[in-house]
Amino acid sequence: MRIPLVIGGRRVESSSAPDSELEGRTGARIEMPGLDAALVDQILACPRDGLEDVPVHEIISFLNNVGHNWRSKEYSRRRLYVRYLCKHFGYSEKMAETEANWISLFLSSHYRLYDLLNTELGSWHMLDGWVPREEAYVRAMPRGRALHLVPGNVPLSSVASIVRALITKNISVVKVSSEDPMTPLALAQSFVDTDPEHPVTRAMSVVHWKGGREGELEHRLLEAADVVCAWGGAEVIQWSCRNAPAETEVLKFGPKRSIAVLGADVDLKKVARVLAHDIAMYDQRACFSIQHVYVEGDPSLLATELQAALAHYQELLPKGMHDPDERAGWSLARLQAVFRGETVLGGGGQDFSVVVASLHPHEEHPLGRTVYLHRVDAWKTSRRS
């Protein structure tokens, strides 16, 4: 499969640099043009104030139109994207369709975008002009050029990063992940489908380079950024902080783990459904995916409810394709739990695992819809652990 780059809203099919050759989770290969000096020059020639005079309502209205296109299962861009998620990302078809639905919802929920701006800025109107506040007038100015170093584990994260930059009138340069090069590119191309000359379309550039091999060209893009949105592991965050100019703010969205703490009086059936959703989404690759649950009292009843809820989610969102190392990790985690004398509940095959475990957290988590339940006798115990 060969995919293009997007520079200033224009497709770029080739460059003077060697092609980037990427391998998806399933082993399927993707080729895309490499980054060369001419492309960097074109990116830096895009005016950083390209959205400054565009009213917020026009930007959000454009995104809403793009979202309506994504809503249709017959939209060619969506169909290609769903096929990509299945073939290269290892998603089940239901998982891929759900991801496309999330993209549509995120773009077309214009009221939520206004609410987001109001919540974080106080008033979205200050992006368009001066707004009175107490004894002064205030205005929110765009930073200019935002460089996004987006992750590959959760496709929707790149969409969120880009949209947040656009609605605050910042142009975006997106460095796609080697694991998921398609999501930002599909978004940029859907802008072109809607209106190739719209300022939002022209404010998008999507490129790729191999992480850990940054050279002069990549440093030029970093040095020209007014803000860096760095998603991913420690190496990405450290590279951004170490090399960004002093006046460039680095927004860090680094690796995180999620846990849940439940009191003795919770509705177990309802909580199990909520936990199952967070565990099943992205097969626990997301930072919000619950890995450990600390339960006040006996966790056995929750384990039974959670087993049923995860079995239900296996029907709603069947587990995606995983490599042999991941599958071996799940089997090893189960065997280790059994060896420790812990209760292990699961679905058919390797669909999921619910482990009623000892209190201490396990150092290595196998992911893949595996959750450990720990008993705590009081809130103070959970806080100390």
Q: State the Rg of the chain over Cα.
A: 23
Which residue bears the tokens 């460039």?
248
DSSP 3-state percent helix, strand, coil across the chain (nearest 5): 45, 20, 35
Q: Give me 370's structure tokens.
A: 């595996």
Q: Say how far apart CA 256 and CA 284 lie, in whole Å.
A: 12
Strand-pairing partners, residue 175, are: 149, 207
Are 4 and 12 contacting, i.e. CB atoms less than 8 angstroms apart? yes
Q: In the 8-state DSSP scheme, what is residue 262?
A: E
Contacts of 42 (CB under 8 A, 6+ apart): 7, 8
- The reported pLDDT for the residue numbered 126 is 96
Instruction: Give the residue ranges of the chain where pLDDT is below 70.
Output: 348, 359-363, 378-385
- Backbone φ and ψ for 22, nearest 5 degrees, come out as -115, 155
Are 368 and 354 contacting, i.e. CB atoms less than 8 angstroms apart? no
Which residue bears the tokens 């985690």?
333
- The reported pLDDT for the residue numbered 245 is 93
Extents of the domains making up the chain: 5-108+141-253, 258-384
CA distances from 217 to 18, 160, 213 (A): 14, 26, 11
Element (H, E) at 353: strand 353-357
Phi-psi category of residue 47: left, alpha or beta, with phi > 0 → left and psi -120 to 50 → alpha? beta
Are 56 and 128 contacting, i.e. CB atoms less than 8 angstroms apart? yes
- The reported pLDDT for the residue numbered 359 is 65
The domain made up of 258-384 has a fold known as Aldehyde Dehydrogenase; Chain A, domain 2 (3.40.309)
The amino acid at 311 = A
Q: pLDDT tens digit string along 257-316?
A: 899 999 988 999 999 999 999 999 888 888 889 999 999 988 999 999 999 999 999 999
Strand-pair category, 353-357 with 370-376: parallel
- The reported pLDDT for the residue numbered 339 is 86
CA–chain centroid gap for 330, Å, is 24
Into which CATH architecture does domain 5-108+141-253 fall? 3-Layer(aba) Sandwich (3.40)
CA distances from 279 to 173, 292, 298, 322 (A): 32, 10, 21, 16
Q: Say how far apart CA 150 and CA 58 lie, in whole Å.
A: 26
Q: Give me 357's structure tokens.
A: 């475990």
Strand-pairing partners, residue 173, are: 147, 205
Q: Say how far apart CA 245 and CA 35 lie, in whole Å.
A: 21
Element (H, E) at 309: helix 300-316
Rounded to two decimals, the pTM is 0.90
Q: Give me 256's structure tokens.
A: 């995180």
Q: pLDDT tens digit string along 36-82?
A: 999 999 999 999 999 999 999 999 999 999 999 999 999 999 999 99
Are 139 and 126 contacting, i.e. CB atoms less than 8 angstroms apart? yes
